[in-house]
């Protein structure tokens, strides 16, 4: 248990889209398997795969297309608002 970090393991099927959202905690996608196209505010879209990491700063908008997909990732969060839902759109 931790009050300063939260870890999610997520799996998204090929072709799914995780719509644009933002949140207070800093986030790192540690890609365990598969690949996806990341759209991170202020950065060019990029395809990332197993062994790569994508970092999002607090409140940085981001979206993910599971193309080519699918995607399996371990996603640590740290910072304020660990129990607050993301802002979509
Ligand atoms: Fe996120």
* pLDDT value for 7: 96
CA of 21 to the centre of ligand 1 (A): 6
Q: Which residues surround ligand 1, an ion (CB under 5 A)?
A: 27
* Cα 88 to ligand 1 centre (Å): 10
Domains in the chain: ranges and CATH: 5-80 (2.60.120.10)
Backbone dihedral angles phi then psi of residue 68, each to the nearest 5 degrees? -75, -25
Whether residue 89 has pLDDT greater than 80? no
DSSP assignment of 29-69: EEEEEEEEEEEETTS--EEEETT-EEEE-TT--EEEE-SS-
Q: Read off the pLDDT of residues 7-55 as tens digits, 9 standing for 90 and up.
A: 999 999 999 999 999 999 999 999 999 999 999 999 999 999 999 999 9
């Amino acid at each position: 248990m931790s009050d300063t970090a939260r870890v999610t393991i997520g799996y998204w099927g090929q072709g799914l889209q995780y719509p644009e959202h933002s949140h207070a905690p800093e986030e790192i996608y540690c890609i365990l398997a598969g690949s996806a196209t990341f759209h991170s505010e202020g950065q060019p879209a990029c395809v990332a795969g197993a062994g790569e990491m994508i970092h999002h700063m607090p409140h940085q908008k981001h979206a993910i297309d599971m193309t080519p997909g699918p995607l399996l990732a371990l996603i640590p969060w740290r910072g304020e608002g660990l129990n607050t839902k993301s802002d979509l759109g």
